[in-house]
Structure 1
Amino acid sequence: MDKCIRQISEENEKKILSPLACLSSQSKGRLREETECDIRTAFQRDRDRIIHSQSFRRLKHKTQVFLAPSGDHYRTRLTHTLEVSQIARTIARALQLNEDLTEAIALGHDLGHTPFGHAGERALAQLSPNGFKHYEQSVRVVDILEKDGKGLNLTDEVRNGILCHTIGEDAYTLEGQIIRIADKIAYINHDIDDAIRAGVMNEEDIPLDIRMGLGMTKSERINNMVLNVIANTDDKKILMSDDFWELFNDLHDFMFVAVYKNPVCKGEEVKAVAMLEQIYEHYSKRPEEMPEQYVGIAEKEGVDRAVCDYIAGMSDNYSVKVFNQLYVPKFWIE
């Protein structure tokens, strides 16, 4: 019998990719067994499921850093995700690792992020007695919440990469480890770009020693960071050289003061957090008013779990709409 396209692709992976790469034919599998696709490998299938998911589409209306910016060119959670994917794929290809696995993890890594960026995440973490972490929520989205409670049934390698993309234990695949560092390269550079666009800072405000070490422009910094990762990665860990990593942390410290705590960028966060607090309080007392899926979660896993799931899944726009419906007289917003 002739081999199907998927089998040919799997054989090509064995011929082309590094011995350190995670092969799709050797995946640890899914939570629920499925018949393999004749065309796509397991990781290609995961990528497609993420792209076609509702939670992926909602990322276009979720804050990255700037709340409701008055311009079309500021990053959203979706454009951030795409930039992470591009950087991660470049690294994976250069290292001859599995680009499909890398892309799937990158596209899914922020699916569980809250509205209003990290301010929303901190709000839910403080409100919920069980805490809240967006990377854990991202896994919950793909395992449980998508497709009306059926989940996307992704491979273990993609799920692990999503879970480990921020802090804590490293992903067990090198492809998963790429996402953690690509995420950092992407956000630090696009946040500088957005801050300059907003008039919060200028490129020249970045300390000269950092610019001379990492690059004088955004494109130079990204290119130099990517090249440094490729040159310094070993067979166990994706990493930058010590001197580059130190400069990156210096740049992050600068951005923390200049941008991440800047009132121009964060002045509206207090209002956004207060709004989420009131939405949380309302549905914690009246869980039956949530959509049917979340009412079911409240019955099975508790009210707090359901309310966190509901709020985390909201876009910025939708959370404002819900708040208005709950607390603002109708004739005021018509």
Structure 2
Amino acid sequence: MAAGDPASQLAPYASDPARSRGRLIAETPSASRTAFQRDRDRIVHARAFRRLQYKTQVFVYHEGDYFRTRLTHSLEVAQIARSISRYLGLNEDLAEAVALAHDLGHTPFGHAGEDALSEVLTDLGGFDHNEQTFRIVTELEHRYPGFDGLNLSWEALEGIVKHNGPVASPPASIARFCELFDLELATQPGPEAQVAALADDIAYNNHDIDDGLRAGLFTIDDLRDLPLVGPVFDAVQREHPTVETSRRIHEAVRRLIDQMVGDALAETSARLDRLAPRSVEAVRHADAPVVAFSDGMRQNDRALKNFLFQRMYRHYKVNRMTAKVRRVVSELFGAYLERPECLPPEWRQRAEGLDATGRKRLVADYIAGMTDRYALQDYRKLFDIDEPA
């Protein structure tokens, strides 16, 4: 029986750490932790994970202390993923590990930073944060003497690489890795990875409602016509008419998350009943994901996404900041590509002997690892004559 995770507590279709497919580099098992618990712990102790504290989703870090960062978002996703996994009899530790790792590859300044890096790397196929996450956990983290990356279990790597489902056309870096350690990209993710992906969707949308309201990008009245969202806010207003707005917002968001989780549990349970999987492999080889929203909730989710895209992500205040930070990322990239001797010693040493393609990828890796705060500081040091180098 695996330490800390009795197999008797798992559903037959759950990922059992005692039956893990192992790691690319073989290691002695831990006497006190399962394979998936070790995965989670390695992710939490990674430098890339700590940097998430100062990487934002929509707002730049200095715009307010209450807006979510990639770190707080990842913790919220992990909490939802654990709750869903516990109900379904899945492995909570694996779901948590995938949830905590899913945003490691994000650049500073959210999608604006990613778009800027993708633009300057057009000839290399662009930049994708999901691929960058995979590269972080398989090669870019330099912590352990025996290997690069985190040497995560097969199940954790599969969950990370299939965060959005089966991968039909993998990037070159993932394809090369799979030649050494086949992650079976054409199949469905394991059930814990499916849970982490849906938990990401639930957390992202609902917490953007919270942040958007607090930032004044839209109002509660603007949400009234949205299916699901409007009725929930109306119900909270009726039940708590004298409570301050901040508490009503929190209560409404809490109820929205609860309703989405409840819908996902009901739909997933129905799909599992129909499929009747007797192993995790049966879930991977199913024609469709087993963890999902109902048709009605998917429509509600789509309506909310459309609203947030128009009223939040494309708000003129966000657009102004997006233009600024894209310029920061683009000019940092150009400066370091032209003068790699300006890179910190460790990165400058890595740049020596690289061809033009290698230098581009290295500079992109360096910038992608920056926090919002560090990128702005570095920009001032490079371009402000009065700023100490």
Normalising by structure 1, what TM-score? 0.91
Equivalent in the alignment of 1:124: 117
Equivalent in the alignment of 2:239: none
* Equivalent of residue 312 in structure 2, options 259, 262, 265: 259
The 8 Å contact of residues 29 and 155 in structure 1, kept in 2 or not, is answered as yes
CA deviations on 1:305-329 (whole Å, 9 max, x unpaired) are: 1011101100011111111111111
Trace 1:227-306 onto structure 2 (pairs within 5 A).
227-233=262-268, 234-235=271-272, 236=283, 237-295=290-348, 297-298=350-351, 299=353, 302-306=358-362
Over 3 Å counting, the alpha-carbon distance change for 1:8 and 1:80 in structure 2 is closer
The alpha-carbon deviation at position 135 of structure 1 amounts to 0.9
Alignment of 1:319 with 2:371, yes or no, is: no
Equivalent in the alignment of 2:248: none
Equivalent in the alignment of 1:201: 218
CA deviations on 1:158-206 (whole Å, 9 max, x unpaired) are: 1221222246547521101112111111011111101111111122312
SS at match of 1:266: helix
**What one-letter code is carried by the residue in structure 1 that aligns with 2:129?**
H
Moved more, 304-313 or 202-211: 202-211
Equivalent in the alignment of 1:86: 79
The alpha-carbon deviation at position 293 of structure 1 amounts to 4.2
Equivalent in the alignment of 1:220: 255
Structure 1 portions without partners, runs of 5+:
1-5
Inter-partner Cα distance in structure 1 for 2:57 and 2:360: 25
Normalising by structure 2, what TM-score? 0.79
Inter-partner Cα distance in structure 1 for 2:3 and 2:41: 19
Alignment of 1:98 with 2:91, yes or no, is: yes
Inter-partner Cα distance in structure 2 for 1:112 and 1:219: 28
The 8 Å contact of residues 165 and 189 in structure 2, kept in 1 or not, is answered as no
RMSD, aligned CA: 2.1
Over 3 Å counting, the alpha-carbon distance change for 1:219 and 1:157 in structure 2 is same
Trace 1:4-43 onto structure 2 (pairs within 5 A).
7-10=2-5, 12=6, 14-43=7-36
Equivalent in the alignment of 1:159: 157
**What one-letter code is carried by the residue in structure 1 that aligns with 2:150?**
L
The 8 Å contact of residues 288 and 295 in structure 1, kept in 2 or not, is answered as yes
Inter-partner Cα distance in structure 1 for 2:231 and 2:53: 30
Moved more, 230-239 or 33-42: 230-239
The 8 Å contact of residues 214 and 220 in structure 1, kept in 2 or not, is answered as no
The 8 Å contact of residues 294 and 309 in structure 1, kept in 2 or not, is answered as no
CA deviations on 1:41-93 (whole Å, 9 max, x unpaired) are: 00000111111111111101011111235432110111011111111111111
**What one-letter code is carried by the residue in structure 1 that aligns with 2:260?**
M
SS at match of 2:26: coil
Alignment of 1:134 with 2:132, yes or no, is: no
Inter-partner Cα distance in structure 1 for 2:213 and 2:259: 21
SS at match of 1:330: coil
The alpha-carbon deviation at position 297 of structure 1 amounts to 4.7
CA deviations on 1:273-308 (whole Å, 9 max, x unpaired) are: 001101111111222432344345544571111011
Moved more, 298-307 or 184-193: 298-307
Inter-partner Cα distance in structure 1 for 2:188 and 2:367: 27
Equivalent in the alignment of 1:67: 60
The 8 Å contact of residues 206 and 251 in structure 1, kept in 2 or not, is answered as no
Over 3 Å counting, the alpha-carbon distance change for 1:32 and 1:81 in structure 2 is same
Inter-partner Cα distance in structure 2 for 1:214 and 1:132: 39
Equivalent in the alignment of 1:110: 103
CA deviations on 1:212-248 (whole Å, 9 max, x unpaired) are: 6884321111001001111111234210001110110
Inter-partner Cα distance in structure 1 for 2:227 and 2:24: 45
Equivalent pairs counted in the alignment come to 326
The alpha-carbon deviation at position 208 of structure 1 amounts to 2.9
The 8 Å contact of residues 65 and 265 in structure 1, kept in 2 or not, is answered as yes
The 8 Å contact of residues 140 and 148 in structure 2, kept in 1 or not, is answered as yes
SS at match of 2:4: helix
Moved more, 240-249 or 258-267: 258-267
Over 3 Å counting, the alpha-carbon distance change for 1:53 and 1:212 in structure 2 is closer
Moved more, 239-248 or 260-269: 260-269
SS at match of 1:66: coil
